[in-house]
Structure 1
């Protein structure tokens, strides 16, 4: 899930890539790749007066195929922070299941421990485009 697609949305204040969902403390990219149970994820800070949680969810689901099951590292997953977020997520997923006509593979869990990914993972696409001399996000 590219940070760039969220970072450019009006109302998104900050994004951060990290690891969550596993039980091992202080995961690293290497441990996640080795299957430690964590998932690579992105945190999004946003101003709800400008962009809604529902709009962020819709962007998330546009970015990938939520019907495809994947390994833990890159699975489709949402971790919610409140009952209101869980309810909004359930409504968006129900709407999408009607569109896809299948059950979504996206896992839904309460937010747990979070560890920021290594700095070289932050704004990865932006950094790689700069190294290649491109002025754009894509």
Structure 2
């Protein structure tokens, strides 16, 4: 039987954080850090970090909508970063750290638009959401040293202070949606 996986592409600040969050969810596969939304081909990390390429640090992954819906993924996305700060997440500043959803099709665009409207109407955040909503063009995978960064570097200070709280948050709020190996 062939599975009908879909693709999601999100930017929520540092891609190490976003990768660590989404790879823990059941129904999510092949989470890859990379760059999207910019204007040069094959941008290297050192150039993206300058903010001059127009790319956002993001992640792209496949998901099984029979296990986790796009709406649920949007909920996780908005729960695990601040979508109200323009071009910034915590101490990370610049357009490369913007909040963005790169939709793969009109259905994803509509779902994201409706969810953002819901969050704004319900005043879930004190400030308006500034998340960019843009059609996905090209996603460039990041260099191999960025793959699975958090899982390989949990003792590093950045991981301890920035990523650990996000991982703990999803363990608290989404334990029933996590892969078994990440529940402990």
Give the TM-score taking structure 1 as reference length: 0.90
The equivalent residue for 1:79 is 102
8 A contact 1:2–1:125 mirrored in 2: no
Deviation at residue 34 of structure 1 after TM alignment: 1.5
Matched, 1:7 2:27: no
8 A contact 2:36–2:55 mirrored in 1: yes
1:78-106 CA-partner distances (Å, limit 9, x unpaired):
00011100000011101111222543110
Deviation at residue 5 of structure 1 after TM alignment: 1.4
Distance in 2, Cα, partners of 1:103 & 1:2: 21
Matched, 1:95 2:95: no
Gaps of 5+ in 2: 1-16, 88-93, 158-162, 165-184
Matched, 1:24 2:40: yes
1:83-135 CA-partner distances (Å, limit 9, x unpaired):
10000001110111122254311000000111100111111111102789xxx
SS at match of 1:3: helix
Q: Once superposed, which parts of structure 1, at least 4 consecutive aligned residues long, lie more than 3 Å away?
A: none
Deviation at residue 8 of structure 1 after TM alignment: 1.1
8 A contact 1:54–1:88 mirrored in 2: yes
Give the TM-score taking structure 2 as reference length: 0.68
The equivalent residue for 1:106 is 131
8 A contact 1:18–1:41 mirrored in 2: yes
Matched, 1:118 2:143: yes
Matched, 1:55 2:78: no
Distance in 2, Cα, partners of 1:65 & 1:11: 24
SS at match of 2:153: helix
